[in-house]
Copies of this chain bind each other. A is one copy, B any other.
Amino acid sequence: MKMASNSSVLPKPLQGIIPPMITPLLDRETLDVAGLERLIEHILGGGVHGLFILGTTGEAPSLSYRLRHELIDRACEQVNGRVPVLVGITDTCFTESINIANKARDAGAQAVVLAPPYYFPAGQAELLEYIEHLMSELPLPLFLYNMPSLTKAVFEPQTVRAAADIDGIVGLKDSSGNMVYFHQLQSLLKNHPDFALLIGREELLAETVLLGGHGGVSGGANFYPKLYVDLYNAACARDLPRIETLHEKVMQISSAIYHVGRYESSYLKGLKCTLSCLGVCSDFLAEPFHRFRSTERDVIRRHLEELGIVKKQ
């Protein structure tokens, strides 16, 4: 089984749509196992190019290590080498990051993904030294993950430039929403064609690919994977009229699904609620969040009907 799943090889650079998978839960410590299987098939059915588990969208920091290990095993087994699996190992503790990475390697994942330690904000020199130490113990290729709103520290362009020369660091996912930063990285790394530059915010996928970026880690691909794959392909083909139509759909989803309710957790709640409305998996959220109550769920369902994602009842 592990053999089989190892049969997927990580492209250099990794390109396309690599959805950041939500983690289906029945309760605080129980995976929604059937939901997880349906979800992976739903996502892979859309033609995606990889799967990223245990990221921000996967609520990784809110999950116990036991649960994370179980998820890694089950996800790798279900994917079974059809696409590369990337596993988030971001942690405030160095050793725990290594532990998850080893688990990911054992389960047959192809790469790991790391944002800066998120309790103490490190300086750039500290961050680079930390990555160097980590790389000497990591069993899999590494993607950096820039997520300053949640981790406090930015991977500044010159730090990424230096990291790109470290053996085993193969790309970066940027979720800052700052396209000036992303273009700075593209410009600085133009002589590193194998270093993947992936965009987190799906609203920025079109321009990312049009201007030479390698793809997107698009949350909406949890429930509508084909849309983001189609947009990626249209952007590769530089088919601007088609890009315009698909990008507008992406923007409508963003407005309709990710901004219901009062809190910053709207994105996560909207995603899980949508998957529940579609019958894919449970919408239980890990603490400190809780699923939408019926008022918000009704809003989401109505929006999904208007978007043509679920049929009107």
Chain A residues close to B by CB (< 8 Å): 28-29, 56, 59, 61-67, 92-96, 116-123, 126-127, 129-130, 133, 150, 177-180, 183-184, 186-188, 190, 201, 203-204, 206-207, 210-212, 238, 240, 243-244, 247-248, 251-252, 254-255, 262-265, 268, 286-290
Contacts and interface: CB of A to CB of B under 8 A. Distances in A.
Nearest to A178: B177
Contacts of A126: 263, 265, 288-290
A187 B188 CA distance: 32
B64 A95 contact: yes
Contacts of A247: 183, 211
B289 A251 contact: no
A210 B179 CA distance: 15
Given A180-B177, A184-B255, A187-B251, A64 B96 contact: yes
B207 A180 contact: no
Contacts of A263: 122-123, 126
A70 B66 CA distance: 20
Query: Which A-B residue pairs are the 10 nearest by beta carbons?
Result: A207-B207, A61-B92, A61-B119, A130-B288, A94-B287, A187-B251, A122-B288, A64-B95, A123-B263, A180-B203
A167 to B, nearest CB: 20
A65 B96 contact: yes
| Copies of this chain held together in the complex | 4
A153 to B, nearest CB: 9
A92 B62 CA distance: 5
B207 A179 contact: yes
A69 to B, nearest CB: 13
B244 A288 contact: no
Contacts of A59: 120
Contact of A127 (B94, B96, B288): B288
Contacts of A251: 183-184, 186-187
A150 B64 contact: no
Nearest to A204: B179
B184 A93 contact: no
Contacts of A184: 203, 251, 254-255
B201 A206 contact: no
A78 to B, nearest CB: 24
A56 to B, nearest CB: 8
A187 B286 contact: no
